[in-house]
Structure 1
Amino acid sequence: MHDIRLIRDDPAAFDAGLAKRGAAPLADELVALDAQRRRFDSEYQDGKAEKKKADKAIGAAKGRGDIALYNQLLLNAQQSEAIDHALLDQSVRLTAELEALLAAIPNLPAADVPDGADEDGNVEVARWGTPRAFDFTPREHPDFAAPLGLDFEGAAAIAGARFAVLRGGVARLNRALGQYMLDRQAERGFEEVAPPLLVRSEALFGTGQLPKFAEDLFQTTDGRWLIPTAEVSLTNLVRERILDEQTLPLRFTALTPCFRSEAGAAGRDTRGLIRQHQFDKVELVAITTPEQSAAEHEAMTAAAEAILQALDLPYRKMLLCTGDMGFSATKTFDLEVWLPGQQKYREISSISNCGDFQARRMDARFRTASEKGTRFVHTLNGSGLAVGRTLVAVLENCQQADGSVRIPDVLVPYMGGVTELRPA
């Protein structure tokens, strides 16, 4: 959510940020609407002040027994009250219109975010690990994991497309991955949280999924929504709160199912686990001061990278360009893991700094001992990691010629000592 006062102060800078996002200029329209709203509001406030004076005059006329003047003043007051109600209605209508426009505008990119229209404009920052040299042709996971317990046909019969049933060894490996990630992030200072999977509309508005992306979500019959990511629940833990600076940063992590309709993904990644309606993810969220947020962004990215390194999965770190960032982000790093079956790097984590964009929508603030008033916090979120995509990466990078899959060493204790999955 943007502050109209900042737009009034520097409309050119606001439009320049929108242009980097590929959006048309809006500052003049917003400022004009705000001016009209403020004029009606000012006239309404003036009317309230005049009403106080009129009430005194009416009381005085009545006290003197001047019935003619009393009746005239009473009539004037009634007419003024009708005008005041009309002014208030106009102010409320324009305020709602302005807030709706502001709510639909994406966050502006940070100064160091590269310009670009789409993913082709992203910049590789670093690369870790060397893709394994196979002595056979590596396959994509849908082509060899069915005997290991990955069942798409059974899932389709139960729920339709973009669902999977995990059985046996694959189910245990999926569970091991989630538990391992959760333990490692807790060791890094992220507080483990078991949050609601159903949330109110206000929570999704706070993190920016509503109103713009309603079609990507699943809504229940009672008006609540299934979370598309635990970011929604975790970030809203500070909704409408004023925090003390010394308590920051707050760091939260959660392992939850996530639910997405994938409305905009028709025809994309229709095979396998890459893009599902339901998947598990370990989420990371941080609540910081503006001064801490850049360093927190790097630390959170490193926390996600550490999981990939421990699993010995080659990846690259990408700085997203202006045209590929999410709606609420001001700067985003993507981690892309190497998938030998596809012979390409695929996104496995996005770690975003949202600045105060979400905090304004949630009214989440903090106070310092040295300053009067409050300031908005900065919020950050990222995957640490997406469990299903990590499962894909382990299956494909650790596959063996006979169809078995080697278990990464750090997961063996979580697998009860099992060192490989073998086809049934």
Structure 2
Amino acid sequence: MIDIKLVRETPDAVRASQVARGEDPAVVDAILAADDRRRASLRDVESRRAEQNVASKDVGALMGRAQKAKKAGDADADRLMETAQEARGHAARLGDEVKALQEAADAAQGELDKLVRVVGNVVIDGVPPGGEDDFVVRTTVGEPRDFAAEGFEPLDHLALGEKLGAIDMERGAKVSGARFYFLTGVGARLELAILNMALAQAIEAGFTPMVTPTLVLPKVMDGTGYLDAHDDVYHLPSDDLYLTGTSEVALAGYHADEILDLSAGPKRYAGWSACYRREAGSHGKDTRGIIRVHQFQKVEMFSYCRPEDAEAEHERLLAWEQEMLAKIEVPYRVIDTAAGDLGRSAARKFDCEAWVPTQGRYRELTSTSNCTTYQARRLNTRERSGDGKGTRTVATLNGTLGTTRWIVAILENHQQPDGSVVVPQALRPYVGLDVLEPLA
């Protein structure tokens, strides 16, 4: 969630971010009003509590005097006792007022918490405004093959996968329903090769490899922002657990409620996991093949760093993604995603999209997001302040280094007229083959 201090100090920037996302900027005024009510309520609580404390001390003193007078047979004993009882009643009434005021303060806090969660992360300067089609191309790498000049019509990845004995959608649907599949033979080998090459590169870059849980508690799923207006997650009601759509979720929760030492630089993890997505709202989209499926494998980079280092770290994650894409030798472009197409947690996102010949367009293979302090604030992940006396929220970032969808780009871009597929040079040690040959 966003920092309430940011809303107080730079409300215009938060309003501008809302507008860029295509969302209602009026929520900023609602947040400020709720914050004012909360702070006023807390002041009232403290004021009444101070009165209550004074009154309680007076009761004790008066009761002591009354008892002492009674013991001494003083004629004023009854009057003193009456005064003490009145003071006790006044203190009790003040106690009731404190309780009521605290309830009002809690209600104001609850209202503020709800409003703050409605606001997406404040986008970074330079992020293009608008929706899905308003991205900006940062760079384009490589040229698409001219299959017409080569004298043959390219097959799509599913036709190739079936010829190679690599993809079986029919039996996937028989076993699990639509958007499920089997990777068989060289298909399984190719997926494992992609993931192993990604993990090897991550280790070489200093990432700690992790095999993560794929079921997480609600507080972790919520902490990453995936439950906010997000209906793409699988929930297991009997256990109240969520299946993760990326190891980002588990890795974000890994250091929840901890204070990190980032004095030596970012903490970087590379998570390998199965991923699950409902693909809600995708009815009729990408129904052929393995571009949009319910289950897949992925190696995900995740970084914890100081907030002031987050933008530079974002560029590093992107560079590592591009290093991987160079290894599979496919044409691709990098886009700066428009604000309205960002997830709520992201302040900026770069997508790497590979050319898919049979679709005649670029399709996303990887993305990397700078979530600044948005997730870590929810998950209470902090670091020591520079003076060592206090703490502050860290920044989190994530980026895909390899996933099942890469098979689509590899098969289509490296296919040959006879239906075989040349394995990219860097992948060959992992696949164990130079060429994937069609089945007889």
- Normalising by structure 1, we get a TM-score of 0.95
Quote the offset at 1:85 in angstroms: 1.4
Contact 1:191–1:251, Cα closer than 8 Å, also in 2:
yes
Q: Larger Rg: 1 or 2?
A: 2
Separation in 2, partners of 1:193, 1:294: 24
Matched, 1:140 2:156: yes
SS at match of 2:36: helix
> Partner residue of 2:113?
99
> Partner residue of 2:85?
71
Structure 2 counterpart of 1:79, which letter? R
Separation in 1, partners of 2:161, 2:261: 50
Quote the offset at 1:171 in angstroms: 1.3
Matched, 1:19 2:32: no
Correspondences of 1:294-305 after superposition (within 5 Å)? 294-305=311-322
> Partner residue of 1:344?
361
Separation in 1, partners of 2:226, 2:280: 14
Separation in 2, partners of 1:360, 1:96: 17
Matched, 1:118 2:123: no
Separation in 2, partners of 1:32, 1:8: 10
Separation in 2, partners of 1:211, 1:369: 33
Separation in 1, partners of 2:84, 2:91: 10
> Partner residue of 1:37?
38
Contact 1:315–1:338, Cα closer than 8 Å, also in 2:
yes
Matched, 1:332 2:349: yes
> Partner residue of 1:278?
295
Contact 1:245–1:368, Cα closer than 8 Å, also in 2:
no
Contact 1:403–1:423, Cα closer than 8 Å, also in 2:
no
Correspondences of 1:175-324 after superposition (within 5 Å)? 175-213=192-230, 215-220=231-236, 221-324=238-341
Quote the offset at 1:418 in angstroms: 5.2
Contact 2:272–2:297, Cα closer than 8 Å, also in 1:
yes
Quote the offset at 1:416 in angstroms: 2.8
Identity percentage of aligned residues: 38
Contact 1:21–1:108, Cα closer than 8 Å, also in 2:
no
Separation in 2, partners of 1:291, 1:82: 47
Structure 2 counterpart of 1:31, which letter? L
Stretch deviating more after TM superposition (407-416 or 332-341): 407-416
Contact 2:180–2:294, Cα closer than 8 Å, also in 1:
yes
Matched, 1:396 2:402: no
Quote the offset at 1:302 in angstroms: 0.8
- Normalising by structure 2, we get a TM-score of 0.92
> Partner residue of 1:51?
52
Post-superposition, which runs of at least 4 consecutive aligned residues in structure 1 deviate over 3 A? 368-372
SS at match of 1:400: coil
Quote the offset at 1:161 in angstroms: 0.7
The two structures, once aligned, show a CA RMSD in angstroms of 1.6
Change (3 A) 1:118 1:369: closer
Separation in 2, partners of 1:102, 1:306: 38
Separation in 2, partners of 1:289, 1:199: 26
Stretch deviating more after TM superposition (413-422 or 139-148): 413-422
Quote the offset at 1:381 in angstroms: 0.6
Matched, 1:376 2:377: no
SS at match of 2:133: helix
Matched, 1:353 2:370: yes
> Partner residue of 1:62?
63
Separation in 2, partners of 1:56, 1:368: 40
Cα deviations across residues 302-352 of structure 1 (Å, max 9, x unaligned)? 101111101111100111122222211111111000111211110111111
SS at match of 2:418: coil
Quote the offset at 1:49 in angstroms: 1.3
SS at match of 1:120: coil
SS at match of 1:401: coil
What is the aligned length? 421
SS at match of 1:247: coil
SS at match of 1:262: coil
Paired residue for 2:184, among 160, 163, 167? 167
Quote the offset at 1:183 in angstroms: 0.9
Quote the offset at 1:209 in angstroms: 0.7
Contact 2:351–2:365, Cα closer than 8 Å, also in 1:
yes
Quote the offset at 1:32 in angstroms: 0.9
Separation in 1, partners of 2:121, 2:399: 17
Separation in 2, partners of 1:144, 1:9: 57
SS at match of 1:158: helix
SS at match of 2:307: coil
Quote the offset at 1:370 in angstroms: 4.1
SS at match of 2:302: strand
Quote the offset at 1:404 in angstroms: 2.1
Paired residue for 1:109, among 100, 123, 128? 123
Contact 2:124–2:348, Cα closer than 8 Å, also in 1:
yes
Contact 2:327–2:427, Cα closer than 8 Å, also in 1:
no
Unmatched 5+ stretches in structure 1: none
Quote the offset at 1:283 in angstroms: 0.3
Cα deviations across residues 49-78 of structure 1 (Å, max 9, x unaligned)? 112111111111111112211221122222
Paired residue for 2:428, among 400, 412, 423? 412
Quote the offset at 1:261 in angstroms: 0.7
Cα deviations across residues 30-57 of structure 1 (Å, max 9, x unaligned)? 1111111122221112222112111111
Cα deviations across residues 184-216 of structure 1 (Å, max 9, x unaligned)? 121111110111111111111221112331x21
Structure 1 counterpart of 2:28, which letter? A
Quote the offset at 1:371 in angstroms: 5.8
SS at match of 1:332: strand
